[in-house]
Amino acid sequence: MAKKIAVLGNGYVGLLAAVGLADFGNTCIGADVNPDKIAALSAGRSPLYEPGIEEYLNRNLSSGRLRFTTDLAEAIQESEVLFITVGTPSLEDGGADLTFVGQVADIIARNLNSYKVVVIKSTVPVGTNRWVRDRIAQAAGAVPGKDFDLVSNPEFLREGRAVQDFFHPDRTVIGYESDRAREVMFEVYRALNVRSVPFVWCSLETAELIKYASNTFLATKIAFINEMANLAEAVGADIHTIAQSMGMDGRISPKFLHPGPGFGGSCFPKDTRALEAAGRQFGVNMSIAKAVDASNEAQKQRTGLKLARLLGRTLDPGSLGGLQIGVLGLAFKQETDDIRESPALVLVRQLLDAGAQVRAYDPKAAPNFAREFPEVTYYEGAYEAAAGADALVIMTEWNEFRGLDLARLARAMKGRVLVDGRNLLDPAEARAVGFTYEGVGRGQPVGRGTVQGSSPL
């Protein structure tokens, strides 16, 4: 039976939850305190870029199953299931800031007019669900299991593929305490059960840790292959052949073995630090999580250092004065406008501090980046950003960069230094048109690596 659902907080996770749960047949109210955001969503415009999101947004608005409001109290009172999807930004010590979660919990407590299932979908440290449960119970004078239930339902959305991930997840994790709450959540996600999506029913603490464990493990794979790429550069090995061979081992798999300038975004850096902070809280040494974070921060520094070396300069203040550097890609990954923790933020700061002028292009993220770096000059295309540049750096794996006309690029540029931070281009082709080219983990061996049964790498 379809449920009446309020999604409290309509940022990235909340918007996907609102449109997705409505598309499953539930009646959803998206509630947020930002009136501009609510006005845009009510008009069918997504304030964030995510492929496919506006199609689902408008379809469910038209069906009447979805609406948006700034009145959180009304949304709570009218609903049976309340999804908390507010942000949990990092604190200085790496822990998660639960201010917004606590504020929403208090609003729920003031408007608990009937039995409701409160679902925390925000990424929160272990113990948060019980903390919220007790906070609501105390503030409302309510009894958990009778007047309301608390459920942990972490999200596993990849930016750029979030719509696909919501409707076709690898699994749905639900931490719960009562059979009544389990039955409600089964109805909420009935559409996924029909599709035979695996459900993981577990305790609140287990669900909380599944989220952090998953993201930190994936971050570990990225940090590891980046360090291997750095070693490959030093010894003249080919990281592509190494990664492909590793991925053939079923215990390892090829996913996330793609070297680059370091990982960014709203999840991996924050969740890795939060897991380390949880370890400190409970007296457990999470040394791997700490090392992954440190390795990734060091990796973000390498692209600028590599560029300066190829230019025969340093990154000291003023050392790149008079040079124009083109930067292609500002988002932390392709198919998103999200620049949070993007490696491009580190690179651009390095270049500006060293006195360079930066010419940048990104298909979607330039407006967000401009709020951080108004002094950068932004262009409408890759060739325009490269025109007159002394060097060019690729920082994001947008598909359009894979097909760059290197001869045209060389003609447009003043210099011939090309740093391919995502290994999108053919090194031989780049060098053939006169570029001094460096990728990531692409040493200078005698020959190119191949794996039998595959194309040359």
Q: Which residues are catalytic?
A: 267
Alpha-carbon distance values, 306 to 146, 149, 309, 347, 395 (Å): 61, 54, 5, 11, 13
Helix, strand, coil percentages in the chain from 3-state DSSP, rounded to 5: 45, 15, 40
Contacts of 194 (CB under 8 A, 6+ apart): none
Q: Is-contact 132 178, C-beta < 8 A?
A: no
Could you say which DSSP state residue 290 is in?
H
Q: Is-contact 153 117, C-beta < 8 A?
A: no
- Measured CA to CA, the distance from residue 89 to residue 82 in angstroms comes to 21
- Measured CA to CA, the distance from residue 267 to residue 449 in angstroms comes to 34
Q: Where are the alpha helices (DSSP H) in 195-321?
A: 204-235, 239-247, 268-282, 287-310
| Half-sphere CA count of 443, side-chain side, radius 13 A | 18
Could you say which DSSP state residue 170 is in?
S
Other CB atoms within 10 Å distance of the CB of residue 378 = 19
Task: Name the strand (E) or helix (H) holding 120.
Answer: strand 116-120
Alpha-carbon distance values, 261 to 205, 228, 301, 302 (Å): 34, 13, 8, 7
Tokens 């952090």 belong to 212
